[in-house]
Amino acid sequence: MMTIIRTKKEISLNLLAKHLEIKKELIIDSNVNKKFETDIIEANTQLSIPYNCELVLENSELVELMNKSLPRVHENSQRDTILYTKKPYDSESLYKDIDLLLKIYPFVKKEIIGHSVLGSPLIELTIGKGHKKVHMNGSFHANEWITTSIMMHWLSDYLGALVKGEQFAGHDCLSLYKDTTLSFVPMVNPDGVDLVLNGVPNHSEYKASLYKMNDESLDFSQWKANIRGIDLNNQYPVNWEIEKERKEPKSPAPRDYPGDGPLTEPEAIALAELVKKHGFDRVLAFHTQGEEIYWGYLRKEPEEAGRIVNEFERLSGYKAVRDIDSHAGFRDWYVNEWRKPGFTVELGFGQNPLPFSQFDEIYRKSKGIFLSALYM
């Protein structure tokens, strides 16, 4: 249940925002079903508000809390939180935390943009209301599941700072919110992530084929593909034939098989349709590993991409790499089709799957990429 308040008397929107210690834009965006045609809010009006505002409601003469507080969980010795994002995510835990996030921050919007092979929803979160449209995604590859954890932690810290009116790494979050619309798909390949973290699903029609593709091994930790053995980041119609010819697997496999044609898999299709629908100004796909940022494709990237990646490089210490011998990827396709900045960011360093013990270091280095993607 999200936080609901009721106004005890007629009150202006500006006064309510001041009383709740929150920007009025967040009140408006948390209540899209309400019409704020004037600055005046009538008495007995019920409104959704971000969770942190509850702290100022005790003994308020202006508003009253209509439901119970959300439970808090212990995160560390410094602070408690409702939403704990520093953890590995399978699809079930991700969906639970997204539902919780929407209750805490009702100005965040959720859309199901498609479904995986096994029917799991592919979720996009939208934050902000600016003209600049930025898309980010993670866990294209199953054994790169730590990207989802890092992304959710960025988002949680950004939203928390936004509601509290605090800066995030030196940047005013409200300005970012007003200037930028962020499209956020934290897990492109939920079936694959679940396979890596939890093993073969019970009663799956793919059970026999999964074991066969995996050489009858019970260890799926190295699996990159979706549940049908198709590499989702080799699925896009930009020189797909080159990758099809030279990739070693010639049939479905744990990694690298591009499929029998471009855009055959529902997960890849969902991302392609999302891009076509929204016409993003830039996209960032987060992978592991190597601490590198790939940003060019056949010199079709705009000059702006170079300026942006220089800021990424400065803040993260990652190496910007313009040219790599790769085709048929999500970023390749985006840059080729739209001639806009697209980036593949290889988080962390080591061998996939990266150990979760690297989380803090990856987060420390990469949060500047997240932020600068919004303000550049």
Cis peptide upstream of residue 201 (ω within 30 degrees of 0): no
CA atoms 144, 149, 150, 151: torsion sign: positive
Instruction: Write out the two tokens for 58.
Output: 């005790």
Total Cβ atoms within 10 A of residue 368? 20
55-92 burial string, b = 16+ CB within 10 Å, else e?
eebeeeebbebeeeebeeeeeeeeeeebbbbbeebbbe
> Structure tokens of 175?
């300005």
Question: Which residues partner with 284 through β-bridges?
Answer: 136, 343
| 245: annotated active-site residue | no
Collapse the DSSP code of 136 into the 3-class scheme (helix H, G, I; strand E, B; otherwise coil) and give the result: strand
User: Given 124, 144, 292, 346, which residue is catalytic?
Assistant: 346
Tallying the residues shown for the chain, one arrives at 376
From its phi and psi, is residue 185 left (phi > 0), alpha (psi between -120 and 50) or beta?
beta
**Cβ partners under 8 Å of residue 187, min gap 6:** 89, 91, 94, 122, 123, 138, 139, 145, 148, 193
Beta-carbon contacts of residue 281 (< 8 Å; ≥ 6 apart): 132, 133, 134, 340, 341
Catalytic residues: 346
